[in-house]
Structure formats: C-alpha cells, structure tokens
Structure 1
C-alpha cells in the first residue's frame, strides 16, 4: 500500500503488516516499484470512472508504455456481495436512520421549518454514529445531507437525483430542506441517508402533521401493498428487470398504474431500487429491463412512490438484505404513513 499522506494513520487502521505500507507520493516512483521495466503490451487496471482526466493522464505517464484499463465493473461486481461484517455495519447505519425517525416523531409540529426538522433528524443521526457524509459514485455530485420536503415542495423536483428532492435552501444546492414553514395537514417525506463505519443505509418515510386525508391513507396502503408484494417474492435468481416488472404489475392491479413512480414535470422513474454498501447508490440497479441477476448477499433498496394528479406524492423506501430464503428488512422505522400529533 502506497500512502501519499497519513502514513502513521494507515499503519494503525489498514490492518496490513507495517512492511507492506510505504510512504510515497511520487507516481513515477510508485510505478517503477510496482511495475519495473517499460511494460510494453502490459495492462494496469484501475477505476477509471472515478479519476479526473488530469489524474488519469498523470497515472498514464507514470506507467510508461503500459495500457491503463477500467476495472470498475469488476470491482463493483465483487462489492455487490456483502460479507457478515459488512451486513453488520449496514445494520448500524439502519439503526442511525431509525434514530432520526424517533427524533422526528418527537418534535414535528406546525410552525416548524423544514430546515429545523432536517437539523433535528441529522443531529439524531450523528449522535447515533452517522459519519456525517455519504459517498456517491459521481465525482461532481452535490446534494447536502439528503432529501426532505413538505407540502407543495414535494412536487418540486430539481433533478439532482431521480426521486423526490425537495428544493434546498437555494439553487446552489437544489435538494433537501428549505426554509418553508410547515402547517397542520402537511405531508412530509424524509429520505436522509446515513453512513456508519463507511457503510450506508437508505430509508424514506412519509409523515403527516396532525392529520392525514382518507385518500392519502388509502393510497399509502396500496403503495405498502406493492412494496410488501415485491419483498415477499424477492429471491436470488431474479433479474433487476424482473423486480421492476413485478412492482409495476402489482401497482397496475391495484389501480396505481398512472400514479406509480410519477413526477409532475418529468417522466416516471424507470427504477425501483438500487444497491447499498460503501456507496449510497451502487449496483445492482433495479431498472426496467435490467439484466443483472440478483444474488444472495446483496443489499438493495426498494424505493417506491405514488403521485396522483393534483395530489402530493407518498413514498416508501427500505434497505433489505437478500438471503437464500428471501429478504431481511434491515431498516427499522414503521412502514406506514405516520401521523404525528404534537403533544
């Protein structure tokens, strides 16, 4: 392991023998030690999708005549199957998400701003062990701490991510909580993820302040039924496209076809979930017509919403562990439209 900075830290934390850790920041020196000679015809693999052009060029110069090739698909495929230790860390992240839910139901009230609510949720996450950031495989991605929206902001999606985003505090970071003051009867969707010991959890829940309309309760019940149906039949051997098709089929049977995964000003979502691990969004992606085969040991989300015309969206998302026998739901918060009545 070549370490540019923090050599002592790497020796303490990496788990590698001290003689295998070298303090060296010069790419040419590293290249010469790892790959002696000119190397004509040889190939060196790295994750090219995560390198800036300048970094890629510098690395190429340091490798001489060797060809730099992308091994990201292989790395991501290996990472998609989690070991017991990784599952344990994801459980901790799910515990941290649940701490945010508990904080929300204890404080949500009319007159509170989205920003204050987000701060309360995020503070609970941090106290429960959240690392304070999350990782996405998009070097230029910016979203703040995660989506939270209420009332009419639920229909205002910025496109920062292909889901309910909220508006953020300004167009500089157009996702997450705004300064909007919430009122009795408002719906609130919280989709703020956590990362504990480097591993993520992703959960979305819908809340109502003081009261929920009968129609919203009915629609959420159908959404929950779609989610339950998919999870009950989620087994190794299915393709990503099979999962999407099963969700759409059940939604259609329940009369939700027009509202399922719908947005106000952009096409309906073409995915119903994604992998979770060292990154918040990683393979497998549960997309329409997806060909990747699901395997035991994968951790994925099931991320569903409905939005009827002239109504606000309702959302439900869980992180689940795929086992040989089916799924284990790792997220802990109640899977219902929670009506919060201020004390």
Structure 2
C-alpha cells in the first residue's frame, strides 16, 4: 500500500499572497458598488489573512477591507498574540477590545457611518445586529450575494493543493474497492473510507456516504447499519481537507455482477459526466455544464430521476461558488474548480452517481480525479 503522506507538503502561502488577495477583495467590493468587505472567522478570513481563530460566539473578531483605506482587523485582546502571528498579519492594522468594553462601538470606528458592506455568510447574527445598532445608517449584504467569485479563481498553488487532495481521495478509492463489501455494514465501510483518507494525508474527513441498495437512491444518505448484500449497487461519495483544501469524489460500485438495467443506468451517468466535462472551457456559462450532463440523462428517459444540480465549487470548503446549475450565467474562467456529479436515483431501488473535481484551463478542463469511471465489481 502506497502512502501519500510521504509526498512533500506544499510551501505555505506568504504575506505577499495575502496582500494580493486583500487588494483583489477591495477591488471587487469597489466594482460591486460597496464601501468594503467585513470578514468574520471562517473560510473567508483564512483565505484573506491565514488566520483561523476559535469562533467564540460572544466575542467579535472582524477583518475590515475598505475600498479606500488599509485593511484592519479587530480582535479580542486575549487573542491578539495569535492574530499577530498569522501569516497575513504584517499587512494589517490590528486593534483590539477588552472584556467589559463595547466591541461594536470599537468595531464601528473602523467603518463608514453610511457605508454599505459585504459581510461573511458565516457571521453571527448578534454581531451584525450589534454593528447595525451602532451604525443605523450602514447597510450589509451577504458575501455570496455581492462577491460570489471572491475565492472562486484559484491560483496555481491552490490548484495543486486541490490536485493533491484529489489524488489522495483517489488512492483511498483504489484501496476501498479491494476490501470486502458483502456482509458488512455501511458504517463499517464508511469507517474504512475515513481511515484511508486520513492515511493518505487528509487532516479532516467531512463526509463518507455509503449508499447501498435502495439507500443509494438518496443522494445525501447518511451511513447506517444496513448490511450490504450481494447484488447491491453502492454509491461511495467521500471527501475532506488535505493541506487546507478539499477533496470530493463519487464512484458507484456493484457487489457481484450487475443486471442489464443496472449497467445501463451506470453507463448513462458515465456518459453524462463525460458530456459535462467536455462542455468545460473558458467563457461558457456555468449553467451549460448542467445542461450538457442533464441532456444525456433526459434523452435516455431518466430526466425525472436526476434531482440535483450537476456541480458546486470547491476550495477551502467542499461546497462554495461557483455552482453548475440552471440559471447561473457566470462565465467559467481559468482557475475555477468545481465538481461535475450527475446521478440517477430510482426510489426504492438503487442510485448511481459519478463525480470528479475539475478545474478550468485555457483550452478546456482538467480532471483532478483520475480513477476509472467504469462500474467496478466488488466482493
């Protein structure tokens, strides 16, 4: 068994990387007609500063990225040493507040009284309301609504982290299919998958879907006690974080030889996934990826059984913009990374899904998962 942990870790992001991201955030806010961006603990703060504090509900930590001034971050005084040690701290003006003071009044001093700001989707409502109370003429919009593409264009270092995470997930898949499925519970197989992801370098396992038999017809089935049987179709969807970036892949296997119908359904999904991939190129609207994959499934007579969008972005989190869904007219750009995961779900019977992470390159798409799409037979 190979060990993905033997590969060298990627070089850390530098202060220059974070400075460039902050400049891009300010420019994006200006282009959106905003006065700046407000970022609370979560993936946006990690992306812009490299700082990942413990998200304590009652204590506000907030990065302020104005369009016309230097970025600043306000933190609880007891957390200031950690904030100052963050990779991007040297390019920030850091202030603090103490317990017993009014953190919203001190935070408001960093904002324009009548400003309009994009705010992290993960911000606590109590902090947003506290700012609104101190600055009643200010207004706020969600980051995803105002700046959905802020983290969508990955640089080369980010893409290689995603590729490494994808390769590790591929290794986990190649190992899991050598193990026995029949006679074991979904929970047991899911635990094996989680162990393999960690063995091949994942620091965090976010999900291990093992949908056997009729459970596979539920796209987000939680693993459970069902015993996998000979003749079952089994959907394996798993991923997490490696070097801070996400993996997410799905393959569908069969315990023993499939029926003609099961093979047909799997082939339709496989062709749909390929059609979605072939539609990827710069300038194409996101919805066209969904349309390309969906057309294959609809033409085969299974359109009513494809019940979700075809893909989602991935990066510091496993679900983020852009989304490959009808109505999303955002044009693909090199560096965007997202899933293509069509599926067919026959209620009470079985399901099939095939998923790869793909990045946009100048002449099309590049797969970040390399395991075969053909229906794998397991024991």
**Shorter-normalised TM range:** 0.7 to 0.9
Residue 106 of structure 2 is aligned to residue 34 of structure 1: no
The answer to whether the 8 A contact 2:214-2:347 is kept is no
The answer to whether the 8 A contact 2:269-2:297 is kept is yes
Alpha-carbon deviation of 1:303?
1.0
Provide, for residues 123-146 of structure 1, a one-character-per-residue CA deviation record: whole Å limited to 9, x for no partner.
Answer: 111222223254xxxxxxxxxx34
Provide, for residues 188-240 of structure 1, a one-character-per-residue CA deviation record: whole Å limited to 9, x for no partner.
Answer: 11112221233212111101123322332233223212221221231111112
Alpha-carbon deviation of 1:2?
2.9
1:254-273 mapped onto 2 (5 Å cutoff):
256-257=300-301, 259-260=302-303, 262=305, 268-273=306-311
SS across alignment from 1:295: coil
SS across alignment from 2:235: strand
The answer to whether the 8 A contact 1:273-1:287 is kept is yes
Name stretches of at least 5 consecutive residues in structure 2 with no aligned partner.
Answer: 1-72
SS across alignment from 1:313: strand
Residue 210 of structure 2 is aligned to residue 148 of structure 1: yes
1:69 matched to which residue of 2?
Answer: 140
Tell me, in whole angstroms, the C-alpha distance in 2 between the residues paired with 1:132 and 1:236.
32
Tell me, in whole angstroms, the C-alpha distance in 2 between the residues paired with 1:41 and 1:29.
15
The answer to whether the 8 A contact 2:181-2:189 is kept is no
Tell me, in whole angstroms, the C-alpha distance in 2 between the residues paired with 1:273 and 1:28.
39
1:1-343 mapped onto 2 (5 Å cutoff):
1-4=73-76, 6-17=79-90, 20-24=93-97, 27-28=103-104, 30-31=106-107, 34-35=110-111, 39-47=112-120, 49-61=121-133, 63-72=134-143, 73-134=145-206, 145-155=207-217, 157=218, 164-166=219-221, 176-253=222-299, 256-257=300-301, 259-260=302-303, 262=305, 268-308=306-346, 311-341=349-379
Tell me, in whole angstroms, the C-alpha distance in 2 between the residues paired with 1:261 and 1:318.
23
The answer to whether the 8 A contact 1:43-1:69 is kept is yes
TM-score computed with the length of structure 2 as normaliser? 0.72
Provide, for residues 225-284 of structure 1, a one-character-per-residue CA deviation record: whole Å limited to 9, x for no partner.
Answer: 22212212311111122222222323344xx23x2461xxxxx42521111112222222
- Distance verdict in 2 for CA 1:60–1:197, change over 3 Å: farther
Range that drifts further, 106-115 or 16-25: 16-25
Alpha-carbon deviation of 1:184?
1.7
Comparing both chains, which one has the higher relative contact order based on Cα–Cα distances under 8 Å and sequence gaps of 6 or more?
Answer: 1
The answer to whether the 8 A contact 1:299-1:320 is kept is yes
The answer to whether the 8 A contact 1:200-1:279 is kept is yes
SS across alignment from 1:208: strand
The answer to whether the 8 A contact 1:320-1:328 is kept is yes
The answer to whether the 8 A contact 1:301-1:317 is kept is yes
The answer to whether the 8 A contact 2:212-2:350 is kept is no
Provide, for residues 314-343 of structure 1, a one-character-per-residue CA deviation record: whole Å limited to 9, x for no partner.
Answer: 1101100011100000013222211113xx
The answer to whether the 8 A contact 2:335-2:359 is kept is yes
Query: What is the Cα-based RMSD across aligned positions, in Å?
Result: 2.5
- Distance verdict in 2 for CA 1:320–1:54, change over 3 Å: same
Give the number of aligned pairs.
302
Tell me, in whole angstroms, the C-alpha distance in 2 between the residues paired with 1:304 and 1:293.
20
Range that drifts further, 329-338 or 285-294: 285-294
Alpha-carbon deviation of 1:18?
8.4
Tell me, in whole angstroms, the C-alpha distance in 1 between the residues paired with 2:114 and 2:274.
53
- Distance verdict in 2 for CA 1:68–1:30, change over 3 Å: same
SS across alignment from 2:85: helix
- Distance verdict in 2 for CA 1:309–1:165, change over 3 Å: closer
1:138 matched to which residue of 2?
Answer: none
Provide, for residues 119-170 of structure 1, a one-character-per-residue CA deviation record: whole Å limited to 9, x for no partner.
Answer: 0100111222223254xxxxxxxxxx34221012223x3xxxxxx122xxxx
Tell me, in whole angstroms, the C-alpha distance in 2 between the residues paired with 1:32 and 1:304.
46
2:8 matched to which residue of 1?
Answer: none
